[in-house]
Amino acid sequence: MKKYAFLFPGQGSQSVGMGEDLYREYDAVRGLFDMAEEISKINLSRLCFKGPIEALTQTVNLQPAVTTVNRACLAAIEKEGLRPDVAAGHSLGEYSALNAAGVISDEDTFRLVHRRGELMHRESQKNTGAMHAIVGLEIDAVETIVARAEAQGVVSVANHNTAQQIVITGSPGAVQAASALAVEIGGKSIPLKVSGAWHSELIRGAAEEFKAYLDTVGFNEPQLAVIFNVTAEQESDPDRIRTIMASQFCSPVKWYDTIRRLVDEPVDVLVEVGPGRVLAGMLRKILPKDYPGKVYNVSNMKTLEKFFSENL
């Protein structure tokens, strides 16, 4: 029996047209969009299918939009009776992973990401932020640079995506200072098109409010293994999971460590379930060259059919 890992993308994977062919093909997908639209009061189908990309990319719209498409892709896979053995999600995508594991319901998943998007958007309006990808340096070097740049303002590691692709976050001046230090020692800095300093102290103002909102949602024991962003480890206690998700709001995403943890399992098939190919691209940089597992992306009917043809 093959062992499957389902990986769910977050912000940065969006594109106009995402989810449209699945929406046309499956009643279950249309039902998911209807539910998400009722909860968010956003016309997600129009935004996902027609854009404009500027509106789709606004975090208050993007978080429920990407989550709905993640869930749509999962629903299409589930229709054939295929379930993962382990799940993980990148930042926002972690809510889709919890849903796939039965920890939170569809309705609560959409409620949580909608509220998360509202709060993050609100904080980004209060505190101007920036995020840069630092490429070509290891995590220890980036953490040293960040510590040196803290005199210029708020700056920290947001995402440890691959061994040498690390996103920093914080106030624009401090992020720019850290980026300049990275370039000095041979790294490359790439400014990211984001509307806020996600996973930083600049959105701490909403952390307690989001924690209180998490307390209104029922969390169940996972039906399959989930590896978490904050710890890069598994957790099965529902109360502990709720606490982890509250801390995820401002904590670094340990994606590199999460995938290395999957390698230790090991799994035979890793599937990016959702729009884009961001996670699949990261996987190819993280997985050992001799790793026997196969990598797939399921984002539309074409990729779904390819996945089914090789796994069912």
- 255, amino acid identity: W
Q: How many CB atoms lie within 10 A of CB 33?
A: 22
How far is the CA of 263 from the CAs of 124, 175, 188, 228, 256, in angstroms?
Answer: 36, 32, 28, 15, 11
What angle separates helix 207-214 from helix 238-248, to the nearest 10 degrees? 160
Sequence-ordered alpha helix ranges (H) in the chain: 20-25, 27-40, 44-50, 53-57, 59-78, 93-100, 106-126, 139-149, 172-184, 207-214, 238-248, 255-264, 278-286, 301-311
Closest to 122 in 3D by CA, of 174, 66, 59, 40: 59
Q: Pick the catalytic residue from 124, 171, 199, 251.
A: 199
CA nearest to 203, candidates 123, 97, 284, 308? 123
CA neighbours closer than 13 Å in the CB half-sphere of residue 184: 9
Name the catalytic one among 91, 96, 124, 156: 91
The DSSP secondary-structure symbol of 234 reads B
Query: For residue 255, what are the contacts with CB-CB under 8 A and spacing of at least 6?
Result: 90, 159, 160, 161, 162, 229, 282
* Known catalytic residue at 247: no
Degrees (nearest 5) of the Cα angle 7, 10, 15?
Answer: 110
CB atoms within 10 A of CB 173: 15
Based on the residue annotation, tell me whether 156 is a catalytic residue of this protein. Answer: no
Catalytically active residues, by annotation: 91, 199
